[in-house]
Structure 1
Amino acid sequence: MGDPAGISPELMAKALCLDDLRQAARLVVFGDRRVLAAGAAVAGVSPEIAVVADPAEAPADESRPVFVDLGHLDPATIRLGEVSREGGAFAVANFRAALRYAAAGHAQAVAFTPFNKAAMRLAHPSYEDEITFLTEELGANGPASEFNILEGLWNARVTSHVPLRDVARLITREAVVNGLVLADGAMREAGFARPRIAVAGLNPHAGDGGNFGREEIDVIAPAVEEAKARGIAADGPFPSDTVFLRARAGAFDAVLTMYHDQGQIAMKLMGFDRGVTMLGGFAIPVLTPAHGTAYDIAGKGIANIGATRAAFELAAKIARKRLKEAQG
């Protein structure tokens, strides 16, 4: 369960009532039963769950999702729509418990309803973003990244949560190649046989032959050629203001952008209420809706389940694939 002051509790309550999600995977949820009950009341649903204090106590019967009640937050102490240390501590504790449960081999994927980073930093000052927290909890053997996914179209990035003034110096040949390798691997795990990845340029009109910058010529194009030599179906660099039009039309399965908003704006315009964020490069895939905690509509019962459903469905798909491979 994510931030209790936003729409996360009602989204989780709705998700636990979806028959297709309940059938797609064995769901084990970490949170507080009282917060879930509050979310269910807002959403107007009544999830059927098996409540336990410890996941080891989960019943063998897999007909109902398991809810691990950590008993760590009274929803009466939280004001909807407001950042608080208590809300951040709730989300951090749930995230950590879920990650450790999966890292111990009990789950093949982790999904969460939206967090509020400001609240989480109040409770856990070193919390920069989900990638830094995952690195703390799980470690990473190589590059890690955030992917945005809208149905069949993926967006990967070379840089992510960094100031725009720092982006150009961080665009190196190694960074671009790493981004392509990571995207190719994550997409193959999600079911793509050989994903076609378009690479966006950094500068206007992809540098216009060097008139508006040389990163495309000196860094990005050589990185694309290196990735091709490794067997990755990469192409580019292309002007970033048109590459998503081509990808949406079916020419590519993914776009690797150079910085955060270069891809986020395009993806959210195409499907804000259906987009999924996946954190890749770790031993465990982690997924969440691409939207935030929506404090402005918290408690109104109008939160759209679309992106949460999509995140849970993709998590279940990857989990099933991992479980099948582990079982031989």
Structure 2
Amino acid sequence: MVNDATLAPIAITQGDAAGIGPEIIVKTFRDVPDLTRGCLVVGDVATLRRAAGFVRGEGGVAMPVAELQAADEAWTVPPRCVPVLPVASPSSLVPVGQVSAAAGRLAGDCVVWAAHACLRGELAAMVTAPLHKQALAAAGAPYDAYPGHTELLQAECARHLQRPVVEVPVRMMLANDELRVVLVTIHLGLRQAIEQITQANVLSTLRITHQSVGRALHRTPRIAVAGLNPHAGEGGLFGREEMDIIAPAMAQAHAEGIDAHGPYAPDTVFMRARHTAQRPGEFDVVVAMTHDHGLIPVKYLGVEQGVNVTLGLPLVRTSPDHGTAFDMAGTGQADASSLLAAIRMARSLSA
């Protein structure tokens, strides 16, 4: 049980108000009060009250929603009550299950507020409920410049550190109990992603992975590197990226004391790294070159336990491994397991 009011609270941003984010947040506070002790929701009170109506508790009673004046009041809220710090309020409730600029702007405002509070030391970590990329873009400036959470948070942290964005490299890690994967490229078209697989970007990914995963494990992590091409290029027969880009980056990483292995064929390396009760994985984490190369294996194991972690930021940020699920919004049926896993990981990383 978390029960230390001297600790900074953890913020959960409500995500897109038209999606399932508010509902899974309510479920989390309803079903796991020990885990959510000292957590608060950054969002809109009316949106969370509507979600509480979709997700009713024992006897069909809606969960109470408390409006906070400051983040540290999260510790004073009784169990099975949703504490909301309103940082922005739309003029009216956004329609459920529809892309809207209002929902995109509200989601973006919540993320920016939580990031700044983390950077000021007022929060221990932030957990972000899913936002909708089309809604974020529809919100206009400044949010239409960012494909998603990762890029938005990178820009805000760079601004706080008074550095160019390129000097605050970040990487996405998706993790569950069986597999961790870090990506060299994230939200890019495939042609663009291949162009971004450079020696510098691969080396930067290995450095960030070594530092961040090592900090979590309290030891040097064993890193497997997945190739880009079939059979990791087969000695140049199917592409030279492994020979000309990835291997030289790994050689530099080895010189810096990074325990990286490969590059291995991407169709088999994830099986070797997978950790199960029957067989421990050969590696602690896999570095993959592109978004789908890396995320398909993790998501296939079950999105309900997957957690998205942004590595390289001067704050702790985790997120569920799923989207807004507009088709389920308003039904109260969405599974909150991935959000629970994201909160647990945020606690462990910020401890």
| TM-score when normalising by structure 1 | 0.90
Aligned residues of 1:14 and 1:47 also touching (Cα < 8 A): no
Deviation digits for residues 153-194 of structure 1 (CA, Å, limit 9, x no counterpart): 211111111111123332222211111111121212323422
Partner in structure 2 of residue 245 of structure 1: 271
CA distance in 2, matches of 1:29, 1:77: 17
Question: Are 2:115 and 1:99 equivalent residues in the alignment?
Answer: yes
Aligned residues of 1:167 and 1:259 also touching (Cα < 8 A): yes
SS in 1 for 2:310: strand
Deviation digits for residues 50-70 of structure 1 (CA, Å, limit 9, x no counterpart): 5223437x2764755742124
How far did 1:290 drift? 1.3
CA distance in 1, matches of 2:75, 2:36: 15
Amino acid at match of 1:8: G
Return closer, same or farther for 1:41/1:192 CA change in 2, 3 Å cut-off. Answer: farther
Deviation digits for residues 258-292 of structure 1 (CA, Å, limit 9, x no counterpart): 11110111111111221111112111121110110
From 10, 13, 19, the equivalent of 2:33 is 19
Question: Are 2:208 and 1:182 equivalent residues in the alignment?
Answer: yes
CA distance in 2, matches of 1:37, 1:66: 11
CA distance in 1, matches of 2:332, 2:202: 42
CA distance in 2, matches of 1:259, 1:122: 26
CA distance in 2, matches of 1:246, 1:127: 34
Partner in structure 1 of residue 303 of structure 2: 272
CA RMSD of aligned residues (A): 2.0
Partner in structure 1 of residue 85 of structure 2: 68
SS in 2 for 1:30: strand
Amino acid at match of 1:3: D
Amino acid at match of 1:117: K
How many residue pairs match? The answer is 316
Partner in structure 2 of residue 117 of structure 1: 133
Q: 303-312 or 130-139: which moved more?
A: 130-139
Aligned residues of 1:159 and 1:167 also touching (Cα < 8 A): yes
Unaligned runs of 5+ in 2: 1-13, 159-164, 276-280
Question: Are 2:193 and 1:167 equivalent residues in the alignment?
Answer: yes
SS in 1 for 2:51: helix
CA distance in 2, matches of 1:280, 1:77: 34
Aligned residues of 1:156 and 1:257 also touching (Cα < 8 A): yes
From 130, 136, 146, the equivalent of 1:127 is 146
Partner in structure 2 of residue 33 of structure 1: 45
| TM-score when normalising by structure 2 | 0.84
Return closer, same or farther for 1:71/1:215 CA change in 2, 3 Å cut-off. Answer: closer
